[in-house]
Amino acid sequence: MHKPLASLVLMTLTVLLVSHCASERAISGGPVDDVAPVVVYSNPENESIEVDQGTNITIRFSEQMDKLSVENSLQVWPRPVDGYELKTSWTSVKVTFKQALEADETYLLTLDKSAKDLRGNGLESTYVLAFSTGEQMNRGKIHGRIFGSAIIREQGNLFLYREMGTTLTDLVATPADYVFQPDDDGRFQLDYLNDQEYLLFYHWDRNRDRKINTGDYFGRPKTANVYARNDTLLPLQKIWPQVIPNDRVKLLEVSMLADSLAQIRTNLRYTNETLDSLNIHQETEQIDILGASRVEGDEVAMLLSLSDDLVEGNQVWVTGFIDTSGYRLTSDTLQLDKQARVDSLQLNPFNISWLENDQLNYPEDPDEIIIRSNLPFTFESDTAFQVFTAGNDSVPIPGVLEVVNTMSWLFSPAEALGDGKTYQWKIQTEHIRSRYQQNELDSLWTGKLQIISADSLGSIRLMHMGIHVLECTLSGGTHSRKFQLRPGTSLLISDLPATSYQLIGYVDANGNGRYDSDQMTPVGGSEEFWVYPEPINVRARWETDIGIWRLRSEDD
C-alpha cells in the first residue's frame, strides 16, 4: 500500500522540480509573438526619495529577454563612480554599484529601445527609472524634436553634458552625463534634471568610431547651451541634423586595370552627379574621361575609361568631386604606384534608366534611354538592346542605338512612349563584346522602365512672410525638391507625385549652399530653420495652396 503512494509522491516532486527549472529556460515554439516587452517591477520604485546610497537596483520584465541586448541597452545617469556590475536572468536584471552613490543626487536608470525579448521585439520607448538619494527629486526638464528623414530620427542619440564652454571635439572623448534617444517621430524629453545649463547635441555615429567626424550626422539647437526648467515656460529645442562633410576629398588609391581603364578610390562617398562632373589630372595635364561608372560593392570606388593611360610614378589628382553632403571638393595629389592588372569586375549588371534619370518623364517626345555598364563594352547588333510594350502581346518598339562613350550607349525610340505606361527592356548578351570580360555571359537580361503619368501629378503653391530668402527642401517618400522662397512672393511647385510632403526652410547665413549647424563650436549659433507644422498632402491634378507660411519660433 505504501510503496505505490511513495512512488506517486516522488513522481509529483520530480515534475514540480522539472517545471521550476524550466521557468528559467529560453522559450521555444508557440504562436508568433509581436508584443513589446514592458518592465513590471522595480526596486526602488520610480521617483523614490531618500534611497540608501548603498542600494542595488532590480527590475523585472513581462517576458523573457535577450540578456545581451538588456546589458547593452542599460545605462545609469549620471555615471556612478567606479561603475557597476550587472547580473541578468531571462526575466530580470540586478545592478550592483561598486561604490556608494553620491548623496543628494537624482539618478536615472535607462533602457533604450534596443532591449529586446527572445522574439526580437524591442521596448516601445526608452524606459526610465528615477530615484533620489536626497529628500527630493530634481524637476528640471529638456524637451524638443529632431527633424529630417525617418532614419535620422530613429538612429541617432542625444548627448547632454554638464560641462560648459568646451569644444565638442574635447567633449566627445568624455562620457556624457546623459545619453537618450528620440522616439520614432523625433520627439524627445529628459526629466529629473537639476535646474541648470547643459550642452546638448545630436550625433549619429554612422561608422561607430565614437568620434564626430566625416559622414556622421550632427545637430544641435540654435545654441548648444540649453537650460533645464521646472516650469511651464519650457522651450522646444529644435534640431535639424546634417551630415558632416570633409573639407577635402583625398585619393586613397589609383589603379590601372587595363589599357586606359582606371579605378580610383576616395575617402568619401560620391553622388551620381560626380560621374559627369569629375575631372582627373596627371601631372599638369587633364585626362579626358570617356566614361565613368560605379563599382559594385564599393561605395567609394569609381571606374574610369580614359583617353590616355596613367603612368606609374606620376602625380594624379581630381577636381569636380561632389560628396553626398552636397559639397564640391578638390583633392590633393596622389602618386600612382599601383601595378597594372586586369580587374575581375563583371559587365553585369547594366544600369538602364531614362537619360535624365533625376527628372520626371512625359510622353511629349520620344524618351531617350541610357545604357551604362561598369566596364567598356560594344553592342555588335542594332537589336542587342530592345524595348517592348508591357503585356501578354509584347511588341518591340523600333529605335536607334548610338554609342555615347566606351561604357554608355543611347537608345532613342522611334515613337513617343505612352503616358503612365510600363515598358520592358532586354539585352541579348550574345551580341555584346568586352575585351575585359572574363566570365561567360548569360543569354538574356531583362528589366522594366516606367513613365510617370502627367495625370497622377499635382502642385503646391506657397508664400512666406519674413525678411529672409529661405533655402527650402520639400520631401515626400523618395521624392525631393530644393528651391528658394523669397519673402512675400507666391511660388508654384509643380509636377509633384501625389503623396504627403514635409517642408523645411533655412537661412543660408554664411552663403555656403547648405544648412550649417556650426559643428565644432558650441558657443556659436546654428543657422535658423523653420518647419511647416503639418504634412502637406498633394493630390493628383490639384493645386494645393497652403496659404501664407508664417515663420514662428515657438513649437512647430
The per-residue pLDDT for range 38-54, each reduced to its tens digit, is: 999 999 999 999 999 99
What pLDDT, in 10s, does the model give residues 402-436? 988 777 888 988 888 888 888 888 888 888 877 65
Question: Which pLDDT band holds residue 20 (cuts at 50, 70, 90)?
Answer: very low
Q: Distances from the Cα of 437 to the Cαs of 48, 306, 343, 376, 377, in angstroms? A: 71, 18, 9, 9, 9
Q: Is the CB of residue 229 less than 8 Å from the CB of residue 194?
A: no
- Dist. CA 108–CA 95, nearest whole Å: 12
Q: What is the pLDDT of residue 246?
A: 65
Q: 209 by DSSP, 3-state: which? A: coil
Q: What is the pLDDT of residue 48?
A: 94
Identity of the highest mean pLDDT range in 324-328, 370-374, 459-463: 459-463
Q: What's the chain's average pLDDT? A: 81
The phi and psi torsions of 446 (rounded to 5 degrees) equal -135, 160
Q: What is the DSSP string of 102-161?
A: PTT-EEEEEE-TT-BBTTSPBPSS-EEEEEESSSS---EEEEEEE-S-HHHHHH-EEEEE
Q: What is the pLDDT of residue 28?
A: 56
Helix then strand then coil, in percent of the chain rounded to 5, is 10, 40, 50
Q: What is the pLDDT of residue 171?
A: 66
Q: What is the pLDDT of residue 339?
A: 43
Give the other-Cβ count within 10 Å of 283's Cβ: 10
Q: What is the pLDDT of residue 255?
A: 81
What pLDDT, in 10s, does the model give residues 280-290? 888 878 899 98
Stretch 61-68: mean pLDDT? 93
* pLDDT surpassing 50 at residue 342: no
- Which H/E stretch holds residue 248? none
| Greater pLDDT, 252 or 486 | 486
Domain boundaries, the chain: 39-243, 251-335, 351-452, 455-550
* 356 CB-near residues (< 8 Å, 6+ apart): none
Give me 425's grid cell: 527592356
- Dist. CA 24–CA 88, nearest whole Å: 11
Q: Distances from the Cα of 490 to the Cαs of 84, 278, 463, 485, in angstroms? A: 60, 37, 5, 8
What pLDDT, in 10s, does the model give residues 274-314? 888 888 888 878 899 988 888 877 788 888 989 888 887 77
Q: What is the pLDDT of residue 344?
A: 36
Q: What is the pLDDT of residue 389?
A: 86
What pLDDT, in 10s, does the model give residues 441-457? 566 788 888 888 888 88
| Greater pLDDT, 357 or 67 | 67
Question: Which pLDDT band holds residue 555 (cuts at 50, 70, 90)?
Answer: very low
Q: 438 by DSSP, 3-state: which? A: coil
* pLDDT surpassing 80 at residue 354: no
Q: What is the pLDDT of residue 163?
A: 78
Stretch 490-506: mean pLDDT? 91
How do 236-239 and 140-146 pair as beta strands? parallel
Report the top-level CATH class of 251-335.
Answer: mainly beta
- Dist. CA 109–CA 46, nearest whole Å: 10
Q: In the CATH hierarchy, which fold is given to the domain comprising 351-452?
A: Immunoglobulin-like (2.60.40)
Q: 454 by DSSP, 3-state: which? A: helix
Q: What is the pLDDT of residue 359?
A: 58
Q: Is the CB of residue 367 less than 8 Å from the CB of residue 341?
A: no
Q: Distances from the Cα of 125 to the Cαs of 73, 138, 351, in angstroms? A: 12, 22, 41
Which of 497, 507, 504 is closest to 535 using CA atoms? 504
Q: How many residues does the chain have?
A: 556
Q: In the CATH hierarchy, which fold is given to the domain comprising 455-550?
A: Immunoglobulin-like (2.60.40)
Q: Is the CB of residue 162 less than 8 Å from the CB of residue 142?
A: no
Q: What is the pLDDT of residue 343?
A: 38
Which of 437, 449, 308, 346 is closest to 390 using CA atoms? 449
Question: Which pLDDT band holds residue 239 (cuts at 50, 70, 90)?
Answer: very high
Q: In the CATH hierarchy, which fold is given to the domain comprising 39-243?
A: Immunoglobulin-like (2.60.40)
* pLDDT surpassing 90 at residue 485: yes
Q: 524 by DSSP, 3-state: which? A: coil
Stretch 245-263: mean pLDDT? 78
Q: What is the pLDDT of residue 25?
A: 55
Give me 272's grid cell: 551620381
| Greater pLDDT, 392 or 369 | 369
Buried b or exposed e, range 3-40, using 16+ CB within 10 angstroms: eeeeeeeeeeeeeeeeeeeeeeeeeeeeeeeeeebebe
* pLDDT surpassing 90 at residue 70: yes
Stretch 337-354: mean pLDDT? 51
Q: What is the pLDDT of residue 390?
A: 78
Q: Is the CB of residue 527 less than 8 Å from the CB of residue 510?
A: yes
- Dist. CA 224–CA 462, nearest whole Å: 31
> In the chain, pLDDT over 70 holds for what percent of residues?
82
Q: Is the CB of residue 316 less than 8 Å from the CB of residue 281?
A: yes
